[in-house]
A and B are shown apart, each in its own frame.
Chain A
Amino acid sequence: KQEVTQIPAALSVPEGENLVLNCSFTDSAIYNLQWFRQDPGKGLTSLLLIQSSQREQTSGRLNASLDKSSGRSTLYIAASQPGDSATYLCAVANQAGTALIFGKGTTLSVSS
């Protein structure tokens, strides 16, 4: 059964810092890995999608890497801003390939 773990559970940084969020998964036979952002009381916004054949994806100040063999992904946020404050979730497909399994997220707080 696929399980997804995210560490740390919470992170507080001052504005301008570069930071890394970690995601690990137990079954390396994944279709893809997706990172999402969730603001309080809102739905999920897709940030980056890495297909299983890819090693990384970049969008603006965000860079996500994927190492299937070790069952890990990292989300790198450069030059953090207060507007980056949110919960970040990673997800990979279940073994049936029918749905995404989510970690519990990392709640990020960036202070100005």
Chain B
Amino acid sequence: GAGVSQSPSNKVTEKGKDVELRCDPISGHTALYWYRQSLGQGLEFLIYFQGNSAPDKSGLPSDRFSAERTGGSVSTLTIQRTQQEDSAVYLCASSLGGLPGELFFGEGSRLTVL
């Protein structure tokens, strides 16, 4: 596609439910990144994919968070048993081959946990 596409753009869920957030990177981009942006906080790195493997998942905050990427393209971030502190905007980015290449971001998925 022309840009990084994320869905849903907004998600409201109840505490304890599982959620899935989807990212469709720019066609041909092998590197994909997930970030989280909480109110008043900076962007927090979650996980980096190169192809279908994740060389760096050091930013995942707990074992409730997981992500996968299939076909070297679409990625899904899954949050299990959501908590209120998971409320944030989840941003996905892609780049042609990883750093030092330029990162391109999607519009984000805003998650609200009630």
Binds B, one of A21-29, A64-72, A75-83, A94-102: A94-102
Cβ contact within 8 Å between A103 and B45: no
Cβ contact within 8 Å between A98 and B107: no
CA A42 to CA B37, docked complex, whole Å: 11
Given A34-B102, A46-B102, A97-B99, do A103 and B107 touch, yes or no (CB 8 Å)? Answer: no
Cβ contact within 8 Å between A102 and B103: no
CA A71 to CA B108, docked complex, whole Å: 30
A52 contacts B by Cβ under 8 Å: yes
Cβ contact within 8 Å between B99 and A43: no
Cβ contact within 8 Å between B45 and A101: yes
CB within 8 Å of B: which A27-76 residues: 31-32, 34, 36, 42-46, 49, 51-52
CA A30 to CA B38, docked complex, whole Å: 26
> Shortest CB–CB separation between residue A85 and chain B, in angstroms?
19
Cβ contact within 8 Å between A49 and B48: no
CA A102 to CA B100, docked complex, whole Å: 15
Cβ contact within 8 Å between B99 and A93: yes
Cβ contact within 8 Å between A32 and B104: no
CB within 8 Å of A: which B10-59 residues: 33, 35, 41-43, 45, 48, 55-56, 59
Cβ contact within 8 Å between A98 and B41: no
Cβ contact within 8 Å between A98 and B56: yes
User: In the complex, what residues of B have CB within 8 A of residue A103's CB?
Assistant: 42
Cβ contact within 8 Å between B99 and A32: yes
B106 contacts A by Cβ under 8 Å: yes
CB within 8 Å of A: which B57-112 residues: 59, 91, 93, 98-100, 102-108
- A-B CB contact pairs (8 Å), 20 listed: A31-B100, A32-B100, A34-B103, A42-B107, A42-B108, A43-B4, A43-B91, A43-B106, A43-B108, A44-B91, A46-B102, A46-B104, A89-B43, A91-B103, A93-B100, A96-B56, A98-B48, A98-B56, A98-B99, A104-B41
